[in-house]
Amino acid sequence: MQLEDPPGQPETVARPNPAERGNAWRPILAYGVLPALVMMFAMAAGLLKYWDASATASAVARVESVQAAKDSTIAMLSYQPDSVEADLKAAQERLTGDFRDAFIELTNNVVIPGAKEKRISTVASVPGAASVTATPNHAVVVVFVNQSAIVGSDAPTDTASSIRVALNKVDGRWLISGFDPI
């Protein structure tokens, strides 16, 4: 004896097992969505690492270039009549490019002969300096300079100035490539 559906009752349709329906999404998750999420997280981590390294390199460049600008400015603007050649020769080692060539020409033709002849001595100090821009290979710094000059036996003459100093990193050293009063 077979059981039949009672008359007037719709035929029952076999429904898939809910557990079997969930299994259809597993390959999509395993081979599509999860690898895509892992790839996105890896790319985001790489981008954040790059940004951090770039920010760190710029911060280091700022600190190093400001110190180099201060030290080099003092070296360029300080000399004694008896040691002017050696003083300015040492300053030349802190310069690069066309600015170095112009500095050498100026010091050899004007500053050294004048310092010896008129017994000129100068002492410079940098009470303040600030980074304008800095990348790992180029920087611009503003330095505030106080300079005292003595000509012969005259009283000292004090001047204050602001200078825009451009620096390039050459062989691991920050060298001045531009020196413009502002």
Q: What is the pTM of this model?
A: 0.72
DSSP conformation letters of 96-136? -HHHHHHHHHHIIIIIHHHHHHHTEEEEEEEEEEEEEEE-S
Break the chain into its structural domains and give their ranges.
41-181
User: CB neighbours of 77 closer than 8 A, spacing ≥ 6?
Assistant: 122, 124, 145, 147
**Tens place of pLDDT per residue across the chain (182 aa):** 555 656 666 565 556 565 555 577 777 777 888 888 889 999 999 888 888 877 788 889 999 999 999 999 999 999 999 999 999 999 999 999 999 999 999 999 999 999 999 999 999 999 999 999 999 999 999 999 999 999 999 999 999 999 999 999 999 999 999 999 99
The pLDDT of residue 53: 79
The pLDDT of residue 32: 83
The pLDDT of residue 31: 81
CA-to-CA separations, 161 to 69, 70, 124, 173, 179, in angstroms, rounded = 14, 13, 11, 25, 12
139-175 CB burial, b ≥16 within 10 A, e <16 = bbbbbbbebeebbeeeeeeeeeeebebbbbbeeeebb
Q: Please, what is the angle between helix 34-77 and helix 84-92, to 10°?
A: 170
The pLDDT of residue 58: 85
The pLDDT of residue 1: 52
Please give the CATH topology (third level) of the domain spanning 41-181: Nuclear Transport Factor 2; Chain: A, (3.10.450)
Distance CA 87, CA 77 (A): 9
DSSP conformation letters of 26-89? HHHIIIIIHHHHHHHHHHHHHHHHHHHHHHHHHHHHHHHHHHHHHHHHHHHH-B-TTTHHHHHH
